[in-house]
């Protein structure tokens, strides 16, 4: 694949104010696709930035201008702790219509994923997530999808779907190939009971902002098992992110959303990450673009400390714990990493006379619940999904 066919080069004016020497900034460390430097062979890179100037299927007109504003702010930030090889592929050449853009995103992302490169998408609108999902399906993979959004982008009734309900086909289509879906940060006054019921009847989940805020760290296992992470900047409160056509006075604080991004970067597998809906038309002094840039920086920082871990009963890198439950009569098996302190648990999958286990990321809180003879909700949800 010749990636130069898909992307326009990066062309940014130098910043008016430079707080750090160029060599210490991401601008000085990222390999950029410019008019003078076409995209080279990418196999030596582990992260690939790409702008997606697409907003034609959304009410948030103007967010197609978001990628360059985010990029300008991102380039002024310092390099992350470890100098990981990153390439900026430039901005996607828009298709004749949004669906053409989705398919182009699919082709490029599938190519990068197969090479073990993690795409980072600068939106543009969140319907681009469809292209990220399609990339995994084209590789015959069943991805875990996590969105961070104050709303659920599905209709209350299937027949009332609009172009903005981009998740309808992904979650409920006849050919859906999704393994699991979690939304983080919904605000109850922005959704209907029917939307939540539709999710939960399909063993998907959405966790409200209040529950997340009470214990932010409990989101880490969700990100650890994620393949696609799609962040809507409108999940952040208006005072921290005004650059959206219909912002909310409530939402995540900037510090909280950056912590979530760091958890996302430190997950347990190569993954796609996208930050969407930043609209310069409504922004104030690039405040939202700056936050989007810092979200990406925290994702990259988490990624730079990433270590692939997967528990195996024979591994000396994990401590195995077995908890006997009286109701139901079952033994839960947990693993704790000696290296990171992270936890996993086994979920039995019963098929006729055959039983095997599926291992999911969990938390120390899940282990404590089991030790107190409570069935962890996370374990129960996947047990129901897999059986």
How confident is the model over 77-112, as pLDDT tens digits? 998 767 789 999 999 999 999 999 999 999 999 999
Assess whether pLDDT exceeds 90 at residue 206: yes
pLDDT band at 75 (very low <50, low <70, confident <90, very high): very high
> Quick one: pLDDT at residue 81?
67
Mean residue pLDDT of the chain comes to 93
**Is residue 223 within 8 Å of residue 264, measured between CB atoms?**
yes
pLDDT at 161 over 90: no
Over residues 286-292, mean pLDDT: 98
Return d(Cα 156, Cα 275) in angstroms, integer.
Answer: 25
pLDDT category at 176 given cuts 50, 70, 90 is confident
Q: Summarize the confidence of residues 155-166 as an average pLDDT.
A: 83
Across the range 172-199, mean pLDDT stands at 93
At which residue do the structure tokens 């103007």 appear?
A: 62
Q: Is the pLDDT of residue 12 over 90?
A: no
The answer to whether residue 14 scores a pLDDT higher than 80 is no
Task: Give the whole-angstrom CA distance, residue 238 versus residue 62.
Answer: 17
Which SS3 state, helix, strand or coil, does residue 329 take? coil
CA distance 122 to 64: 10
Is the per-residue pLDDT at 348 higher than 70?
yes
> Could you tell me the domains of the chain?
3-304 (3.40.800.10), 318-386 (no CATH)
16 has a pLDDT exceeding 80: no
As a whole number, mean pLDDT of residues 237-250 equals: 97
Question: For residue 126, how many other CB atoms are within 10 A of its CB?
Answer: 27
pLDDT digits (tens, 9 = 90+) for 297-342: 999 999 988 778 889 756 789 999 999 998 777 899 999 999 899 9
Output the pTM of the full model: 0.95
Residue with tokens 């409504």: 282
Check: CB of residue 271 under 8 Å from CB of residue 257. Answer: no
Residue 356's φ and ψ, nearest 5 degrees, are -130, 180
The stretch 255-281 carries a mean pLDDT of 94
CB contact at 8 A, 51 and 91: yes
pLDDT given at position 59: 93
State residue 314's pLDDT score: 64
Mean pLDDT of 230-243: 98
pLDDT at 80: 77
Q: Is the pLDDT of residue 169 over 70?
A: yes
What pLDDT does residue 353 have?
76
Instruction: Assign residue 227 a region (left: φ > 0; alpha: ψ between -120 and 50; beta: otherwise).
Output: alpha
């Amino acid at each position: 694949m010749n990636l130069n066919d898909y992307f326009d080069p990066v062309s940014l004016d130098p910043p008016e104010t430079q707080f750090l020497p160029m060599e210490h900034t991401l601008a000085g460390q990222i390999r950029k696709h410019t008019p003078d430097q076409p995209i080279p062979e990418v196999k030596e890179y582990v992260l690939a930035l790409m702008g997606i100037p697409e907003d034609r299927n959304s009410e948030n007109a103007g967010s197609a201008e978001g990628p360059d504003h985010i990029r300008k702010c991102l380039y002024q930030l310092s390099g992350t702790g470890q100098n990981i090889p990153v390439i900026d592929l430039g901005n996607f050449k828009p298709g004749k219509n949004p669906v053409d853009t989705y398919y182009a995103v699919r082709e490029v992302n599938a190519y990068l994923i197969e090479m073990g490169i993690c795409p980072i998408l600068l939106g543009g609108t969140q319907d681009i997530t469809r292209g990220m999902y399609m990339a995994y399906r084209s590789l015959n993979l069943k991805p875990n999808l996590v969105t961070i959004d104050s709303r659920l982008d599905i209709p209350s009734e299937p027949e009332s779907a609009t172009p903005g309900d981009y998740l309808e086909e992904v979650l409920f289509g006849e050919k859906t190939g999704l393994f699991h879906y979690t939304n983080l940060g919904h605000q109850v006054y922005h959704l209907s009971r029917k939307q939540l019921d539709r999710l939960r009847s399909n063993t998907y989940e959405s966790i409200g902002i209040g529950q997340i805020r009470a214990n932010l760290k409990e989101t880490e296992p969700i990100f650890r098992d994620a393949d696609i992470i799609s962040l809507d900047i409108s999940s952040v409160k208006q005072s921290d992110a005004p650059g959206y056509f219909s912002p909310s006075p409530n939402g995540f604080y900037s510090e909280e959303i950056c912590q979530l991004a760091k958890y996302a970067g430190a997950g347990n597998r190569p993954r796609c990450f996208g930050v969407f809906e930043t609209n310069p038309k409504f922004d104030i002094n690039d405040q939202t673009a700056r936050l989007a840039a810092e979200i990406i920086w925290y994702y990259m920082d988490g990624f730079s400390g990433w270590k692939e871990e997967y528990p195996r009963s024979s591994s000396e890198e994990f401590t195995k714990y077995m908890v006997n439950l009286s109701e139901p009569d079952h033994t839960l098996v947990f693993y704790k990493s000696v290296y990171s302190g992270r936890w996993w648990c086994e979920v039995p999958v019963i098929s006729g006379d055959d039983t095997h286990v599926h291992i999911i990321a969990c938390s120390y809180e899940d282990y404590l619940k089991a030790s107190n003879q409570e069935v962890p909700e996370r374990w129960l949800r996947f047990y129901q999904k897999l059986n």
